[in-house]
Amino acid sequence: MLIDLHTHSTASDGTDAPHELIDKAISRGIDVLALTDHDTVGGWNEAINALREHPSGSNMELVLGSEVSCQDDDGTSIHMLGLLFDPNYQPLIAEFEKTREHRVTRMSRIIARLNEAGIDITIDEVHAQKRDDATLGRPHLADALVAKGHVASRDEAFKIFLHNGSKFYINHYSPSPESAIHLIKQAGGVAVIAHPLASRSGRTMKPETLARLISYGLDGIEVDHRDHNDQERSELFRLAIENDLIVTGSSDYHGTGKLNQLAEFTTHPQQWERLEAKANARRVVKR
């Protein structure tokens, strides 16, 4: 069983449209795929239709979700996967909208800093890199910098200009991780912390923060992820077992935007069963 519970499409900063993602996942032989674009449910309908209309008659199960941007008191950025929630639960959708609005203002401010440093790039050039309704993110700015010839790749754009420690970096409004967990669960969904100790991407949350979220009601931990080293995986696995949390593994696929390949890490079927049972309704989509 191939179960991949964290992927992105052009509804945020992935490069495959939702229907292309569904196609690729089916070709790859994936059994359960979650679509988890940043702060949006904008790709859901296209993904559902693509699965329903797929000529192969595939039995793949589609899990709809979102990767919710969160921020801790000290400004640390934290990502919370919300899976199988009710998209009609307005407080969560309203929070997504607020975050997306602030991402736009934040982008203008990052661009102003780049312009001050003599880097020629405009907000229109950034918007041109994405679908109209897509959640705007630094990867789109990276793509615009590539298009302008300032850098060769998204990765280089992040290394030189866009990483979290850069002088050009500005954060955007996002809810506290507790608030995200609360909203996801109120919406009947399941909250899984994404890549919590991702030292390989330079973003690690403090152990005490993770402990706090576990006591708050976190449902699961994304343990197997390319940004975790072996030691981080063992530590997270131990923490999950000790606290009876669900353990997931996933690709965090972004199309050509990142090296991550579909199903490069996967979730154990028993863990997926537990996860699905935690939602307050059966929301998995099948043909």
Where do contacts with ligand AMP occur on this chain (CB under 6 A)? 13, 38, 137-139, 154-155, 158, 254, 257-258
The reply to whether 79 sits near Fe ion by the rule CB under 5 A is yes
**Alpha helices, H only, the chain:** 18-27, 44-52, 90-116, 123-127, 138-147, 154-157, 177-186, 207-216, 230-242, 269-278
The reply to whether 16 sits near Zn ion by the rule CB under 5 A is no
The entry of ligand AMP, Zn ion, Fe ion, none that residue 183 binds, CB within 5 to 8 Å by partner kind: none
Specify the residue, 8 or 114, whose C-beta has the smaller distance to Fe ion.
Answer: 8
The entry of ligand AMP, Zn ion, Fe ion, none that residue 46 binds, CB within 5 to 8 Å by partner kind: none
Pairing of strands 190-193, 220-224: parallel
- Report residue 150 CA to chain centroid gap: 27
DSSP 33-59: EEEEEET--TTHHHHHHHHHT-TT---
Residue range at the interface with Zn ion (CB under 5 A); choices 11-19, 115-123, 126-134, 237-245: 11-19
- Distance between CA 255 and CA 253 in Å, rounded? 6
Residue range at the interface with Zn ion (CB under 5 A); choices 13-21, 68-76, 170-178, 259-267: 13-21
Specify the residue, 252 or 276, whose C-beta has the smaller distance to Fe ion.
Answer: 252
The residues in 229-258 that bind Fe ion, with binding defined as CB under 5 A, are 252
The residues in 48-67 that bind Zn ion, with binding defined as CB under 5 A, are none
- Distance between CA 150 and CA 137 in Å, rounded? 18
Cβ atoms 257, 229 nearer than 8 A = no
* Least Cβ distance, residue 196 to Zn ion (angstroms): 16
Residues contributing to the site for Fe ion (CB under 5 A): 67, 79, 194, 252
Residues contributing to the site for Zn ion (CB under 5 A): 13
